[in-house]
Structure 1
Amino acid sequence: MLTIFEKLKNIALDIDKAIKNEDLGYSEHQNATGDEQLKLDVVSDTLVEHHLSDLSLVQAIISEEKEEIMPVNESGKYVICYDPLDGSSIVDVNLSVGSIFGIYEAGNLSGSGLRAAAYIVYGPRLELVLAVRGRVPRHYRSGARGLFSARSSVSLNEKGKLNAPGGTQKYWSPTHKAFIDSLFAEGYRLRYSGGMVPDLHQILLKGGGLFSYPGTQDKPKGKLRMLFEALPFALIFESAGGQAIDQEGRRLLDLTPEHIHDTTPCFFGSDYEIDKLKSAYGIHDG
């Protein structure tokens, strides 16, 4: 596993360089779910593939940008699912973006098979957060000569102050709108950039809050993909002392996708916000 983590640091440095120097325009292609690909999406995907495809520990890699699984080493222990550049559409306005990685047991692409997760933030500083199942997440920052140094462990308070509500508001259900309004009525601060990684990173480092992407009229199964986005962040949030559920109250880590590109409604937060969400949605534990 340490070999994989070292590769993630190299990936971070290379994609950070690409963001600063590569063409930001659209390519002539679409990704696996029909979204137009930016040239930077393609470059980032190629860089991740280059770094991960020579690891003996890795049986296969699965990119959000590709339809099919890419075999690497038949005897490998892990399958790595990744979003090479989450939030790429906001790079052109110079907002922070990120990469997300889920490291799964070979043969078990599900929440229960997720052994570790990581994300990278490309912003004013280059940062990396790693979580291994059963351990508190660790926060790293790149410094001189590209070396990453450990900053601190990551933990959530019982209650936060930040509210990051995703999805087009006109398609929200009345239940969800009333719930989000109730958080703002309590004094929560809006923090939503259009990039999942920087928004969740802010909640984690500020000690709490809520990120929500519900099922909506236009996307009843949500927008965020289980293997590449929702499950890796679920592991990170639970490891930091928070919760991650869908809108029926199920732990995201209890879910198993039927297809590698399946999506799910998802909510990540501190205990207070998730418990308040369950109450608003009429969800009863047990």
Structure 2
Amino acid sequence: MTEIFDAIKQTAIEIKELIVNGDTGKSEQENATGDTQLKLDIQSDLIIEKIFANVPSIKAIVSEEQEAIVNLHEKGKYLIAYDPLDGSSLVDVNLSVGSIFGIYENDFTADNLIASVYVVFGPRVELVIATEEVKMYRLLKGKFEFIQTIALNEKGKLNAPGSTQNCWAPFHKQLIDDIFNDGYRLRYSGGMVPDLHQILLKGGGLFSYPGTSDRPKGKLRQLFEVFPFAFVFEKAGGQAIDGKQRVLNIPTTHIHDTTPCFFGSNEEINRVLKVYKENE
């Protein structure tokens, strides 16, 4: 799998240059779930597909920006689902964004996920690889150098509540209010990658993107966003749930399926489970 990690590192270097020098405007296209694509989304997707096409061990890929699975190498072993530039609308206001990769075997389902990688494009470019451990690397003088292993504490201090608040269930709003009343600090940029990265590096907390009245099945995509980060959080000693069950136990019926999701350290996730169980 080393050649895949090396390929992802190369995509990060090229996307970094694209972010610095590329066109941040909107395209006239929509992605598979109806979102207007930025030119950066399309160009990042092309960079990743071009680089992955040269990796013989990759059998097929699927991108959040495309309708269907793309077959690459018939004799390949691995399947990769990726979000080429998550939070791309934040580039225009110079906030951090990221890329997310889930590496699967056999089929694009949670129980076939064997590794995940994400990249944060901020003041520094950082790349996190989760296999049996969660390791962070930083781009220094054109190369990614190992910085640290990431592990969560049992309890954190940060709270990142996502989705449209006026569509929250009353019990979910009360949960978030209670967490803040207990002294947690708000940390929410609107970018999934930087917000989850901050929780991981600061030792814990809660990121939530619940089901809402306008989106009962949530907004975040299973294969490209939710499952890869669930893998990271579990390997770092935390948990990822949909409010009632482990995220990585959720079946996938379509490559663009979404799900509610909560990521965090154990105390916060157990708190969510208790509240959601009481309000079934």
Regarding TM over 0.5, the answer is: yes
Distance 1:56 1:93 in 2: 38
Partner of 2:124: 125
Contact 1:109–1:256 (8 Å) recurs in 2:
no
**Which of the numbers 203, 206, 213 marks the counterpart of 1:210?**
206
Q: Which residue of 1 aligns with 2:138?
A: 141
Following the alignment from structure 1 to structure 2, what is the Cα–Cα distance between the partners of residues 172 and 210? 16
Choose which of 244, 259, 277 in structure 2 pairs with 1:264: 259
TM-score normalised according to structure 1 size: 0.96
- 1:109 and 1:80 map into 2 onto residues whose CA distance is 8
Equivalent residue for 1:4?
Answer: 4
Q: Which amino acid aligns with 1:202?
A: Q
Q: Structure 1 residue runs of 4+, over 6 Å off?
A: none
Q: Number of residue pairs matched?
A: 279
Unaligned 5+ segments in structure 2 are none
Given the alignment of the two structures, is residue 186 of structure 1 paired with residue 199 of structure 2, yes or no? Answer: no
Whole-Å separation in 1 of the counterparts to 2:137 and 2:3: 16
The residue that corresponds to 2:51 in the other structure is: 51
After superposition, give the CA deviation of every residue in 1:182-234 in whole Å (9 maximum; x if it has no partner). 11000101111110000000000000000000000110000000000000000
> 2:105 maps to which residue?
105
Q: What residue number does 1:223 align with?
A: 219
Cα drift, residue 46 of structure 1: 0.4
Q: Tell me the amino acid that sits aligned with residue 53 of structure 1.
A: A
Determine helix, strand or coil for the equivalent of 2:218. Answer: coil
Hey, what does 1:236 align to over in structure 2? Answer: 232
Instruction: Give 2:38's aligned residue.
Output: 38
CA distance in 1 between partners of 2:104 and 2:65 (Å): 18
Structure 1: gaps of 5 or more residues: none
Q: Give RMSD over aligned pairs.
A: 1.0
TM-score by length of 2: 0.98
* 2:271 matched residue in structure 1: 276
Q: Distance in 2 between matches of 1:251 and 1:236?
A: 13
Please list the CA deviations of residues 92-112 of structure 1 after superposition, one character each: whole Å capped at 9, or x if unmatched.
000000000000003x21111
Structure-1 separation of matches of 2:19 and 2:213: 34
- What is the CA distance between 1:256 and its match in structure 2? 2.1
Q: What CA distance in whole angstroms lies between the structure 2 residues aligned with 1:87 and 1:214?
A: 18
- Offset of 1:40 from its aligned partner? 0.5
CA distance in 1, matches of 2:181, 2:275: 14
Alignment match, 2:171? 175
Shift of 1:22: 0.4
Identity in percent = 59
Displacement of 1:283 after TM fit? 6.0
